Copies of this chain bind each other. A is one copy, B any other.
Amino acid sequence: MESSSSSLLLHHSCFNPKFGKRPLLAYPLMRNPRNRKPTRICSNKMYVPGFGEASPEAKAAKHLHDFFTYVAVRIVSAQLESYNHEAYLELREFLDTNSVSDGDKFCAALMRRSSRHMKIALRILEVRSAYCKNDFEWDNLKRLSFKNVDGFNTKLMREYVLETSHVEKPDSDT
């Protein structure tokens, strides 16, 4: 049985064009578990401490999530201002007493104020999803971040050098 399956595999490896001129192997499609190396997670990345089980990317995504809610509130507010002034005033009034810095807390509170507020909240949820997935320019974010880090590093060093390399002119009076 074993030799039969072996010859079948050999046959397969010889005539299948996928395997071309590879050397003939007894078990070309089987992995030998004895030769398998244990899985190791190797990374050349710098160790970032202090994020617990979450990653820096997860932390940044949470910040962006609140930012998208803030953007969605601004979009919906501008839309309501133009076609539903009553709802616009209700949202403005709610914003006066509720901070939008924690986006989900803000939306949860808005949903529970009244059925009219609930409709505005649902619109905000819808808009933040559409904004995040369709409108927000992710490539532009990356490009601007690269530009920022180069620009501000140069600015900081230039300002430091200008401040500290100030050579006092020799006093000609003395």
Mostly, the A contact residues are helix
Determine if B111 and A156 form an interchain contact, defined as CB atoms under 8 angstroms apart.
yes
A156 contact set on B, CB distance < 8 A: 104, 107-108, 111, 125
A78 contact set on B, CB distance < 8 A: 47, 49
Determine if B141 and A65 form an interchain contact, defined as CB atoms under 8 angstroms apart.
no
Determine if A46 and B63 form an interchain contact, defined as CB atoms under 8 angstroms apart.
no
A127 contact set on B, CB distance < 8 A: 46
Q: Chain copies in the assembly? A: 2
User: Which of B58, B128, B149 is close to A68, meaning CB atoms less than 8 Å apart?
Assistant: B149
A8 contact set on B, CB distance < 8 A: none
Residue ID in chain B nearest A111 by CB atoms: B160
A75 contact set on B, CB distance < 8 A: 46-49
Among A10-18, A29-37, A88-96, A131-139, the stretch that binds chain B is A131-139
- List 5 A–B pairs whose Cβ atoms lie within 8 Å, in order of A's numbering: A64-B145, A103-B152, A104-B152, A104-B155, A125-B156
A132 contact set on B, CB distance < 8 A: 145-146, 149
Count A-side interface residues using an 8 Å CB cutoff: 63
Is the C-beta of A148 less than 8 angstroms from some C-beta in chain B? yes
Within 42-71 of A, Cβ neighbours of B (below 8 Å) are at: 45-50, 55-65, 67-68, 71
Determine if B153 and A129 form an interchain contact, defined as CB atoms under 8 angstroms apart.
yes
A118 contact set on B, CB distance < 8 A: 160
Is the C-beta of A116 less than 8 angstroms from some C-beta in chain B? no
Is the C-beta of A112 less than 8 angstroms from some C-beta in chain B? yes
